[in-house]
Chains A and B, each alone.
Chain A
């Protein structure tokens, strides 16, 4: 007991030493020491282990929820997402696509290449999509990574929105090109021109996307471009094939269109299925 008392007195003296004289001018040293000793003497029995465990159990219910990207993305409105996507759209991609179409238009109208506007539309129509596809699957590029890291949009949504935007952009370009051709050459038919850019676009974009999902590395771009180059070469070198395409039966055209559309739906399902494991856009 005496050891405890001595320790308490020692603590009290320590306590006093840290204080300014002004604070205890109304006390004698002994008085102050005794008050502090008395205060320090009172002890508290700690709660038992069960009380501690109860508190831990109660606290567990209030643990912060780990951030779930999917939940956050639900809170962001579609319009805001589109705005974000447009902010990060690669300007170089847009410029290159426009440039390809402008050069294609110039080469066709000046008679240097392609031969006919129909062939030009057939060859050019899927090119912006093929180029853009590689950028979508390389979503870890600087700008996109920043966007994804913001957790406002997840990589799956981001990829799909970009694909849709690419399709819209590609079709707008093709439509402008068609109008430009129709404006320069009055003998051209709008329906044929539409077939020339719609059919290759639907089939090639569907196949490209399918290959891109399956292959899952960036070499697929080279593969698709090579494939498309061979196809383009055949069309340019053989007038028969381009004429055959232009004179296809309406039912066949509709069939190709439906098949292309179904391939797109299948691809989107595939992307969503794979998104569970976050594989599709990695």
Chain B
């Protein structure tokens, strides 16, 4: 299998096949990140496309000596999401569509409803976090990024990232307690006792 860097060289030489491979390789990852950040599934699709267009149109500026391609594409995704939040349109068009509408598991109606409600609470909790804390929490928990990597991606230092992470977790705890998802209740749900 060709590495990301090899594919980038091919894209620079005009290979559309390489372009397809790189988009297919990262599409779901980038979409997951974007949809968790902005909550809206439809906007997430547009923003994911925007991220890839930025990647391809700026591919000549990428150099493997500066870092990994995966870090570069994530950095573009992070900045595109930041721009989205800066955009005034975001607030006026924000809809109440959430990832909860897209839950995969459909074992039965009751569990689905329970799951939907739980997910709504979790997502709302994440969305209540300040943007810079949300960024760190998502990258840490959903993409298993190391703190040093998150620091590089968000263009901040490692200690700042750790501090944001800790603050984010504290806020999440408060929000989840407020929303009634206390640990003992959760334990009951998960263990079935």
Contacts and interface: CB of A to CB of B under 8 A. Distances in A.
Interface in A28-50: 28, 30-32, 34-47
A59 to B, nearest CB: 5
A54 B49 contact: yes
B13 A38 contact: no
A22 B28 CA distance: 33
A38 B186 contact: yes
Interface stretch (A60-68, A137-145, A159-167, A239-247): A60-68
B122 A43 contact: no
Dominant secondary structure of chain B at its interface with chain A: helix
B77 interface: no
B118 to A, nearest CB: 7
Interface residues of B, number: 57
Given A37-B186, A42-B99, A62 B141 contact: no
A15 interface: yes
Q: Quick one: which of A27, A36, A46 has the most chain B CB within 10 A?
A: A46
B35 A44 contact: yes
Contact of B122 (A38, A63, A64, A66): A38
B97 interface: no
B93 interface: no
A35 B118 contact: no
30 contacts: A1-B107, A18-B146, A23-B169, A24-B169, A31-B183, A32-B169, A35-B169, A38-B122, A41-B122, A42-B99, A43-B104, A43-B105, A44-B31, A44-B35, A45-B99, A45-B103, A46-B28, A47-B27, A47-B28, A51-B45, A52-B23, A52-B24, A52-B27, A55-B52, A56-B20, A58-B52, A59-B53, A59-B55, A62-B56, A64-B59
Give the 5 A-B CB pairs with smallest separation, nearest first: A45-B102, A62-B57, A34-B183, A66-B14, A59-B56
Interface of B: 11-14, 16, 19-20, 23-24, 27-28, 31-32, 35-36, 41, 45, 48-49, 52-53, 55-57, 59-60, 99, 102-105, 107, 111, 118-119, 122-123, 126, 137, 140-142, 144, 146, 162, 165-166, 169-170, 172-173, 176, 181, 183, 186-187, 190
